[in-house]
Structures are given as structure tokens and as C-alpha cells.
Chains A and B, each alone.
Chain A
Amino acid sequence: MSTPVLEVRGVTKAYGETPVLRGIDLRVGAHEAVALIGASGSGKSTLLRCIDLLEEIDDGDILVDGEVVTDPSVNPVAVRRRLRMVFQQFNLFPHLTVLENIVLAPVRAHGMPRAEAESGARELLTRFGLAGREGAHPDELSGGQQQRVAIVRALMANPRALLLDEVTSALDPDLVGEVLDLLRELKAGGMTMLLATHEMSFAREVADRVVFLHEGRIVEEGAPAQLLEAPQHPETQRFLRRLLEGGRL
């Protein structure tokens, strides 16, 4: 098997006395989309933040393209430029326009000429139906538009993989579709993705594999159809039953 884009080996993480990740092992191959599902507090977001080196792990290793990135000698800034995280709350920079949000890092941190960055940004905005909003500030956009801008911002560096942290959870139901459409398009284009999500139908449709987290452990993983329709582990069964009862499945 070729080297996975992302590999997580025996990662543990605790906040003070509270363990959040209790030994996670996970591989995401090139062009693969892996959905992380599980209850709130199961460790999905923490795992994504650890992979993007926004949180320090206590034990284990994280590898990007076969290179251990959790070694203290590795510059986290260089790693984060290869991965791109998108957040539940969008986290656009409110004092900057849409265009400035997107070109800030390429221009300020990666030394890309402004003109080149801006034309690249405009191209992506047009592709994702956001042409004409370049000069708007985030608070002038709908939630769905904000999240799409955040995804465009993440795509600017041609990342090796996207880390998507419940990117539709903060959206009104009628705005979820436009963000999912964008992700479908990225998946079709071969983007490698690791996504924490509550959208089971989307996970079933787009993900190659679904991973169920429970209390900081992966208790079950498999093809979407198999895991979502015939879960083996009792915790997975309980979780899916609760979603079903809540009308979320």
C-alpha cells in the first residue's frame, strides 16, 4: 500500500486529568474521504486539532506523507501549510474583506505576489459561486457563504488534505446544502479529506470510510453502507439509534 497522506499512530491527549483521546490509530490515503462520527465530546474535534498541530498530543505520532510531524524539531507552520483546517464557526477574520481573508496568508506568510494571489482567489470564488462578494466583510454574508469563503481560504495553498470540523453544524438547515455541494465537488476533484460530521446522509454519500469515535477511542470503522446500516459495536448501534430517534438520520 502506498504511503497514506495522513497517519495517526497511538495518539493520546488529555486536558488536565480528563482523557480526550485514548490511543487513536487512523490512516487516510490519497484522494480518500474519511468521515469521523460520534457524539459531542467523543474527541472528533480534538483529533482534527491535534493533526493540524493546534493542540499538543501527549503520546503517539502523527505523520503527513510518511513524515513524523509531531516531533519537536518539526516546524508546525510548515506542516499547517500542507494541511488545511476548516472550522465549525468559520473563523473568518471579521476586520478583513472576503478577498483579504483569502490572500492574507499567501501574501504575508508564503511570499506570493499580491496580484497572483488575488487572481487565484477570484478564480476560486467564481468557481464556487461567490463572484462579486470579494469586497464584502464576513458579517455581510450568510453563514453558508461565510463557510464557503472559509473553504476557499483553505484551498488557496493547494493543501494535501482538508481537515473539516463539523463545517455545517453552525448553519441554518437551508444553508447546509450549498456547503455540502462544494465538498462533493472537491471530493470529485480528488481532494483528500478527513471530516468530522453530524450529517450521516452526507457521510454515506461522500465518504469512502466512516470511523466511529466513542470516548476517545475508535470503536468501529468501515464502509459507510456497512457501518451506518449494520453497525456491529453496541455503542455504534446506540449512537445511530439516538440519531434515528432524533430524526437526524
Chain B
Amino acid sequence: MATISTVVVVGVLLTLIVTSKGWPAVRETFFSWEAFRTSFPDVLDGFWLDVKLFVIVEIAVLFLGLAIALARNSKAASLAPLRILGAVYVDLFRGIPVILVVYLVGFGIPTLELDGLPDDPVVLGGIGLTLAYSAYVAEVFRAGIDSIHPGQRSAALAVGLTEKQALRFVILPQAVRRVLPPLLNDFISLQKDVALVSILGPLEAFRVAQIEASSNFNYTPLLAAALLYLIVTVPLARIVDRMQRKRVAR
């Protein structure tokens, strides 16, 4: 039944699109096999930059996000400045559009003309993305840490672990397991948002596709880029789905 209804709905929608008056023009500008074939190698080349970038940014985000979460969750009275700093950081970078952070970092840092600061737009774009996404991921980690029952900390201390060891061997392993689905959700989002560094000029997939599209008056290269982003985001989405199903089953 589910299969039949799906086939019917999709069939009706496709028929509507294909029989519409503008379809021949759409097919020519968006679904040109010729344009796809000639542009795909270049778009794929650009996409490797995206892949490298999001892998490195994801690793950086894990560390920075965790550090901010731990800073915000610190208890000692003397660490109040750290807590405030963490809170301000999260408010700031979660409250500004990611594209604006990338733009400000990408054009702001080189303008400072300070020695030793990077001026490569790919590096700057990566820094911008890291700053923005660490704010989200910090909150995910923090929620995970807060969700662990205080009895776990008590028990860890009671068997003779230090606060640090309790965090590392007892609390964090449980917290990370619990927040893996929302964490991967943020990563799905990040794997698309790497396209934002294109505003700084690097030839990543979206920008390559844009250039090809405007030089040939054909938008098919953009669809080629879309396809590539899907190839890295959809499998991750399925993994998240499976994790959540498993959790419900438990």
C-alpha cells in the first residue's frame, strides 16, 4: 500500500512538471546532459576542496566545541571569567548568520595586516566556519554533559577518581554517545555550509559550478554540484536515522 501510494504521488507530480508549458526550456537549462558531462570533472575537482575543508573543520569544531562546553560547565568560583567568556562566545557566534561570520573573518583578518595571521581565503573560510559551528556543537556537548545523572559523578569520585578522571572516563563517554545524533546533524549542516567559503573566492564546487553556469548560460553545473553535496550528506542523515531508531528500541 505504501509503495503504491508513493508511486502514484510521485508519478502525478512528475507528469505535472513534465507536461508544464515551460518544461522544454527548464530541461534545456537545468538538465542538459551535454553541460553536465563537460562541467562535472571541474565541479568534482572543486568539490575535493569542500571535502578537505569540512573534514578539517569538523575535527577542529569537535575540539573547540568541547572546550567551550567544558568552560561553560566549570564549577569552581575562580573560573567565573571562563564561564562568562564561554556564554558570550556562544551567544555571539550562534546569533550571527554563518555567512556573515565567514565574510567578516575572511575580509577582516587580512585587513588587520598583522604578521603571522593567515591570508589564504580557504584557511580564513575554515576559521570562520569553525568559529560559527563550535558555538552550536558546544551547546550540544553541554546538553549531553548535563543529561548525565549526578549519581555518576558521585560514584566516580567515590571510587577514587579525580574530577578530571571522572569527566574523562565516566561522564564524557556517556555524554558523547547520547549526543551523537544531534552532533552529526550539525555536521550534515556544516557539510553543505562549506559552500559559503565561495564568497571569499576559493574555487570550491559551488563557485566552479556558478562560473561554468554563467559562462554557458546553463544551470546544469549547479545541479552537478547539488548532487555532490547530496552524496556526502544523505548517507550521514541515514546514519543519524538509524542511531535514533536504535535509541528508541532500547
Min CB–CB distance B76 → chain A (angstroms)? 13
Nearest-CB residue, chain B, relative to A157: B160
Size class of the contact patch on chain B: 10 to 19
Min CB–CB distance B166 → chain A (angstroms)? 10
B33 within 8 A of A: no
Q: Which of A84, A92, A93, A150 has the most CB of B within 10 A?
A: A93
A105 B152 Cβ-Cβ under 8 A: no
Nearest-CB residue, chain A, relative to B176: A95
B159 A153 Cβ-Cβ under 8 A: yes
Min CB–CB distance A54 → chain B (angstroms)? 5
Nearest-CB residue, chain B, relative to A139: B250
B154 A91 Cβ-Cβ under 8 A: yes
B185 within 8 A of A: no
Interface of B is mostly: helix
- Knowing A77-B160, A109-B165, say if A93 contacts B154 (CB, 8 Å): no
A93 B155 Cβ-Cβ under 8 A: yes
For A49, the chain B residues whose CB sits under 8 A away are: 154
Min CB–CB distance A82 → chain B (angstroms)? 9
A108 B161 Cβ-Cβ under 8 A: yes
B152 A109 Cβ-Cβ under 8 A: no
Nearest-CB residue, chain A, relative to B171: A93
Min CB–CB distance A233 → chain B (angstroms)? 32
Q: Mark A141-181, 1 if CB is under 8 A from B, else 0.
A: 00000000010011011000000000000000000000000
A52 within 8 A of B: yes
B158 A84 Cβ-Cβ under 8 A: yes
A52 B165 Cβ-Cβ under 8 A: no
A91 B152 Cβ-Cβ under 8 A: yes
Q: How far is the CA of A47 from the CA of B178 in the complex (A)?
A: 33
B162 within 8 A of A: yes
Q: How far is the CA of A105 from the CA of B158 in the complex (A)?
A: 10
Min CB–CB distance A211 → chain B (angstroms)? 22
A105 B161 Cβ-Cβ under 8 A: yes
Q: What are the 10 closest A-B residue pairs judged by CB atoms, nearest first?
A: A91-B155, A105-B159, A81-B160, A85-B158, A91-B151, A105-B160, A109-B161, A109-B160, A95-B174, A95-B173
**Residues in chain A within 8 A of chain B (CB atoms):** 49, 52, 54, 76-77, 80-81, 84-85, 87, 89, 91-95, 104-105, 108-110, 150, 153-154, 156-157
